[in-house]
Structures are given as C-alpha cells and as structure tokens.
Amino acid sequence: MSHWDLDDIDWQAFDRSSVDPDMVRVVKAASLVEYNGDLYGRYLANVFADDDAFVVAAGIWATEEVRHGIALGRWAMMVDPAWDFEAARERFRSEYSQVDLNLDHSVRGSRFSELVARCIVEVGTSSYYTALAEATREPVLRQIFRKIAADEFRHYKLFYDHMKRYRAIDNPNLLTRVRVAVTRLAESEDDELAFAYYVANDVPEAYNRKACAAAYGSRALPHYRQKHIRLAVNMTTKAMGLRPKSRLASLIAWVVCHLFDWRRQRLVRQAPAY
C-alpha cells in the first residue's frame, strides 16, 4: 500500500527565493540514485525468488524508491527548467551498472547478509533525508525530504524484520554481522553517488570519482548534526545484533562519529568548484 504519491505534495508552495543552489546539485544526483531502486528490486526478487512474502515487500520498496526519484527530479526541474530528468536518468542507467540482474544468489554471501546490507543502506538514507529536511528552507523540497525520510525509516524496519527471520535460519555469528555492516558502510564512497553527481550536474570534465564524490559530499554532509549521526549509529548497531548501550556499540559509535567528522572535513577540503 502506498503511503503517499506526487499529488500529496503541495507543489504550489514552491518558493524560488529560498532555493539553495548547492542543494539543487545534491537533489539532482539523489534523484538518479533513488530511481535506480527498481533495478535493486529486481535483483532482490532473484535472490529471494522462493520467498513470496519478501518478494512482494521488495517490489513495494522498489516502487517507493522510484517515486522518490521522480519527486526529486520534478522539484529539480521546477528550479532548473532546462534540466531534463529523463535524459539524465537514461544516461546514468546506460553508463553506470552495479547490479547484476542475472544473479540468483546474494553478492553478500547469504540472504541474511544481504538483508543486513539493506538495513545499512536504509540507515544512511533515513538519516540523510532527515538532515536535509531540517536544513532546507524551500517548502516543497522540505515536504519531499520529510516524506522520503519517513519511507526510509519504514524500509529499515521492513528489511530488519525479514533479517530477523533469516538470522534464525542462517545463525550467523557476531563477527559475520559486524563484517557485513562495516563492509557496506565502507561502500558509501563507491561510484554510484559520485557518478550520479557527474551525470546529473553535467560536469564539463572527464569523470573523476574522487572529485565528484568530494563535490557531492561537501554539499550534503555539512547538513548532518550529531543527533543524525547518533541515530544512524544506533540503527546500525541494532542491525549488527548489538545492544545500542553495550560497550562495543558505544565504542563503534565513538569511532563512527569521529570518522564521519574526518570524512566531512576531508571532502570539503577536496571539493572542486563544480
């Protein structure tokens, strides 16, 4: 069941005077990544082909991810009528491929590990859109960010609930759970967002992953506050199977917070002008 659609957004409330140009660049990139959710949905349907309940849930998840991309793309075109969301989306999809739709098994090694990784993704997106919603002054974009953030929190619970089912089946040890989570966290600097930024913003140079990642991160990460980071850490440790108040969870929280601040400062220093 859909929780909202494009007609639930008050598009007439758009206020051009409160638009942040840097936020426009971030939104354009995010719209392409979100729209790619349908490919991940097809991948998950292959991996969990005999689990009808999960396949249905993953299909709903993918539909909502695509809706996020469309909403963000529509807002970006309101700001920049010359920008063509459909053309950018087609270029991104034709030039960037991360999901092997022919696989019938998880690239994470098991279904449980796949679900842990999906939880970590939703941790990132829920905290990300919450931070952006609180940072933006433009009324329509704030509405969109809030609705997407609410979806991403639900998506975390969806994957977490199914993850608990597979934990009983696969019986993974703590080391496996932590390894999968840490590996997926490390992938936050992979090519997807960097290349989406490159395509969405028509960067007039040859693609440079490091530069584009810095250009994107320097505009997005400064909006995070400690409360957003700590919430994300709590959700991450829960997905690992740790109690948020445990000593190990507290240590992980301390390390993540310091690494996040270091990464944010590094990206701001490295960011090019585009």
Question: What are the pLDDT digits (tens) for 223-272?
Answer: 999 899 889 988 998 998 888 778 887 887 788 788 888 888 888 888 88
Measured distance CA(116)–CA(167) in Å, rounded? 10
Measured distance CA(65)–CA(102) in Å, rounded? 21
Contacts of 252 (CB under 8 A, 6+ apart): 233, 236, 237, 240, 242
SS3 (DSSP) at 77: helix
Measured distance CA(24)–CA(266) in Å, rounded? 22
Any idea what DSSP says for residue 3? S
**pLDDT score for 189:** 57
Measured distance CA(72)–CA(250) in Å, rounded? 35
**pLDDT score for 267:** 87
**pLDDT lower than 70: segments of the chain:** 1-2, 188-190
**pLDDT score for 190:** 66
Structure tokens, 78: 């309101």
**pLDDT score for 149:** 98
Contacts of 248 (CB under 8 A, 6+ apart): 242
Q: For the residues of 2-31, what is the DSSP string, one character each?
A: -S--GGGS-GGG--GGG--HHHHHHHHHHH
Measured distance CA(187)–CA(120) in Å, rounded? 10
**pLDDT score for 66:** 97
